[in-house]
Amino acid sequence: MNPLRVGVIGAGRLGVFHARKYAQFDHCRLVAIVDIDEKRAKKAAGSFGVDYTSDYGEILDKVDVVSIATPTSTHYKIAKQCLAKGTHTLVEKPICATPDQAGELIETARISGAKLQVGHVERFNPAILRADPLIRSPLFVEVHRLGNFSIRGTDVDVVLDLMIHDLDLVMHYVNSPVIHISAAGVPVLSEQGDIANVRLEFENGCVANLTASRVSKEKMRKFRLFQQNGYLSIDLLNHAVTWVKKVDRRVLGHPIILPRKLKVPPKDALEEEIASFLRAVSSGEPVQVSGEDGFKALTLATKIKKEMERRFKTISLAP
């Protein structure tokens, strides 16, 4: 089988990461890097000895697969053209700017037969992969994702920039419709919301509380799932998992729980994500994070943003 020909659209920090991962696989061949800044495209392409251009349309007859690592506002236009051409597409999160646009991309992929995977890379975090077999019907989820301010990503607010990673994980593991949203957010250093807290109530009774900030001094990415007879504490930043479980022992007549730190095999999340995408393309099997998954996370994020805006306006207008 001939190696898959790959193009990376977007030569920023994340696009270069994608290119580096593709370049190390034997079963694909990186052939081009695209960026509207031709100098940046040339510099990135020079690192890998591949072609470059400022027009992504020029590469679509030369590649089988693309990664799109451009600003969110450009995802829809680029991905739709790639998918319509039949090019298998991995688009960074969020899938695009609006749920309607996401729906169009899903339909375009269905018609053309091209694979569409969304870059919710935390699905491939080694700590998540280790905890995954133990997660069963969470009843309560608590998430903290805190980071330093960076101008990168400020074309969207903190919900679409950071929290959407956790919305995807929560939706994936709870697997039940959201029936109530309570959300608050504040713009601090940008015109978009930079810190947000959300409480989600699900039809099956589960509750999730999520906090995301890009104006914090400390970095934290903690994901905790509480379920019958125990809970999992997952450190997404440091790749650590603690399984706190009810045991068949009693102390002074009371049941007890004991923590156990699980060994997490070292893995590179982006490498795992791209490898899974290439496997799906080669085998014809479904991708692990589908366009529908991206649509669900974006739809929920959009509802959260509207609730944040409503609450902020109400507070701002109050005497």
Strand partners, 299: none
**Within-domain flag for 170:** yes
Mean pLDDT of the 151-168 span: 85
Do 116 and 71 belong to one domain? yes
Do 97 and 128 belong to one domain? no
Give pLDDT, residue 314: 63
**Within-domain flag for 97:** yes
| Selection from 141, 193, 146, 186 nearest residue 167 by Cα | 141
Give pLDDT, residue 156: 81
Q: Is residue 150's pLDDT more than 60?
A: yes
**Within-domain flag for 294:** no
**Within-domain flag for 224:** yes
Do 143 and 166 belong to one domain? yes
Do 180 and 306 belong to one domain? yes
Q: How far is it, in rounded angstroms, from Cα 30 to Cα 240? A: 33
Residues 59/82, Cβ–Cβ less than 8 Å: no
Give pLDDT, residue 319: 55
pLDDT tier at 254, thresholds 50, 70, 90: confident
Do 116 and 188 belong to one domain? no
Do 130 and 48 belong to one domain? no
Residue range of the domain that includes 216 = 123-267+301-314
Reduced 3-state DSSP string for the chain: CCCEEEEEECCCHHHHHHHHHHHHCCCEEEEEEECCCHHHHHHHHHHHCCEEECCHHHHCCCCCEEEECCCHHHHHHHHHHHHHCCCEEEEECCCCCCHHHHHHHHHHHHHHCCCEEEECHHHHCHHHHHHHHHCCCCCEEEEEEECCCCCCCCCCCHHHHHHHHHHHHHHHHHCCCEEEEEEEEECCCCCCCCEEEEEEEECCCCEEEEEEECCCCCCEEEEEEEECCEEEEEECCCCEEEEEEEEEEEECCEEEEEEEEECCCCCCHHHHHHHHHHHHHHHCCCCCCEHHHHHHHHHHHHHHHHHHHHHHHHHHHCC
Q: How far is it, in rounded angstroms, from Cα 61 to Cα 215? A: 43
Residues 187/308, Cβ–Cβ less than 8 Å: no
Give pLDDT, residue 315: 57
pLDDT tier at 152, thresholds 50, 70, 90: low
Instruction: Count up the domains in the chain and report the number.
Output: 2
Please count the CA atoms within 13 angstroms of the CA of 76 that sit on its side-chain side.
Answer: 11
CATH of the domain at 186: 3.30.360.10
Q: How far is it, in rounded angstroms, from Cα 184 to Cα 237? A: 25
Do 230 and 152 belong to one domain? yes
Q: Which of 68-72, 89-93, 247-251, 273-277 has the lowest mean pLDDT?
A: 247-251
CATH of the domain at 281: 3.40.50.720
Do 197 and 69 belong to one domain? no
Q: What is the pLDDT of residues 186-202, one digit of tens each?
A: 888 777 789 999 999 99
Do 138 and 247 belong to one domain? yes
Do 161 and 308 belong to one domain? yes
Whole-structure pTM over 0.75, yes or no? yes
Q: Is residue 2's pLDDT more than 90?
A: no
**Within-domain flag for 296:** no
pLDDT tier at 311, thresholds 50, 70, 90: confident
